[in-house]
Structure 1
Amino acid sequence: MRRTLQTATIGLDWLIKKGIKVIPDANWQENADKPCDTGSAVEVLEKEFPNFDFSTVDPSYPDKTTNLASNPYAFTQKAILARGQTCLEELYSRPEKVIAVVTHSGFLRTAVCNRMFFNADWRVFTFDEQAMAEAEKEDQKKFILKESAKTEKNGGGMGRSDVGVFGIEKGDFPPEVEDDIKDAQAKGPAKAEELDEANKQKPSV
């Protein structure tokens, strides 16, 4: 969260000075559980960014490694795709017509919009109501974005990002462990804790 708040403070300072509210949100954090992709404690961030309100940040932040089967921030494909939909649903329900989101390229590519982002580049999206309606016909409640023709063709607002649609690639996520943990939980809490701890020791792919 530190990196995104630094970017917002620099790149969107003209809006912040006008009183536009900044809302720190744990859901928009990066995918991996490596130290460089794991956030700092809220108590630390509050001291570094005293002008921002962190009262709505999930108290479990920045934990990504405990209770992997139920942790919404776990470094698993299932959790991250679900988190992407949570983010989009929250945006869809907001009253503002224009919202600037400052987040991480890996999370955006794999779980939000399937686009590449060069450092500090930006893109413009709206919700694809037609695609969402088609998904709903198949009993799939799914929030889908549609990029503006200008930033899509240009490769981002600065023209520095790759053009095209980029989905999940091999190596983006470690092997799924949720089913293994659930099986262990059925055998008893001691076994489940043992497996959860073992998975925390596995190096990220």
Structure 2
Amino acid sequence: MAPTVILVRHAQGLHDPELTELGRDQCRQVRDKLVPRIPKDFDVGLIIVSPMKRTIQTALLMFGELIERGVPIMAHAGWQENGVQPCDIGSSIDELKAMFPQVDFSQVDPVFPDKSSPEAAFYHETKSAIINRGQTVLIELRERPEKAVIVVSHSGFLRLGCTGHWFMNADWRVFEFEEGEEVKLRQWEETKAGGMGWSWEETVPLGHGLPEP
């Protein structure tokens, strides 16, 4: 059976160096609301993070208690943000390893943080590339053995590559995979406005507004 998926947008950040004080407070609010439900409502067996400083800091602040209990945290380049602006280009893996020794970086694509060369075509900021990346990471998630997985990622990729839903800073949504060959997500009714109630209920088509090559 495919895992339940909790998709989380990172808290407010100063681009990619670190979270703002408001972002840290958002993390505390989410931690206090969501973590007590684990494992009662969500039997989380893995935390996946985009290998960016703001997403990793968010995961550690929100879910540090779970990590201390032994839930592994793994970085995955497929969950990084869409753009090629400086704030959306990650740091070197060596730098991230030194800053965040709790995180497993062993599975990060060696091309990271490149997002513009021909070798990094999977991460290009085009409609087709981002939809393809979204489908790829969701298929990987659907095939994982855990009962529930938390993913901490970015608003643009979560909305335009994966779900069509808006994610405000630090908000989260819960999804189940529908049966069938096609990758489809069904959202829990209680998170239609986000788990914290901070997000819009309107949806957009995947890839909406993204450029083509």
TM-score range, shorter chain: 0.7 to 0.9
TM-score, normalised relative to structure 2: 0.72
Q: 2:184 matched to which residue of 1?
A: 144
Residue of 95, 115, 121 corresponding to 1:71: 121
CA distance in structure 2 between the aligned counterparts of 1:27 and 1:169, rounded to whole angstroms: 16
Residue of 97, 109, 112 corresponding to 2:147: 97
Residue of 23, 27, 30 corresponding to 2:74: 23
Once the two structures are superposed, the pairs formed by residues 58-137 of structure 1 within 5 Å of their partners are 58-67=109-118, 71-129=121-179, 133=180, 136=181
List alignment gaps of at least 5 residues for structure 2: 1-51
Find the residue that maps to 2:61 and give its secondary structure: helix
Is it true that 1:159 corresponds to 2:197 in the alignment?
Answer: yes
Question: What is the number of equivalent residue pairs in this alignment?
Answer: 162
List alignment gaps of at least 5 residues for structure 1: 137-141, 178-205
1:113 CA displacement = 0.8
Once the two structures are superposed, the pairs formed by residues 1-40 of structure 1 within 5 Å of their partners are 1-40=52-91
Q: 2:210 matched to which residue of 1?
A: 173
CA separation of 1:95/1:127 partners in 2, compared to 1, >3 Å: closer, same or farther? Answer: same
CA separation of 1:81/1:169 partners in 2, compared to 1, >3 Å: closer, same or farther? Answer: closer
Residue identity (%): 46
CA separation of 1:169/1:19 partners in 2, compared to 1, >3 Å: closer, same or farther? Answer: closer
TM-score, normalised relative to structure 1: 0.75
CA distance in structure 2 between the aligned counterparts of 1:96 and 1:14, rounded to whole angstroms: 18
Amino acid at match of 1:159: G
CA distance in structure 1 between the aligned counterparts of 2:185 and 2:144, rounded to whole angstroms: 15
1:173 CA displacement = 2.3
Higher relative contact order (CA 8 A, sep 6+): 2
CA distance in structure 2 between the aligned counterparts of 1:166 and 1:15, rounded to whole angstroms: 33
1:164 CA displacement = 2.6
1:165 CA displacement = 1.8
Q: 2:35 matched to which residue of 1?
A: none
1:2 CA displacement = 1.2
CA RMSD after TM alignment: 1.5
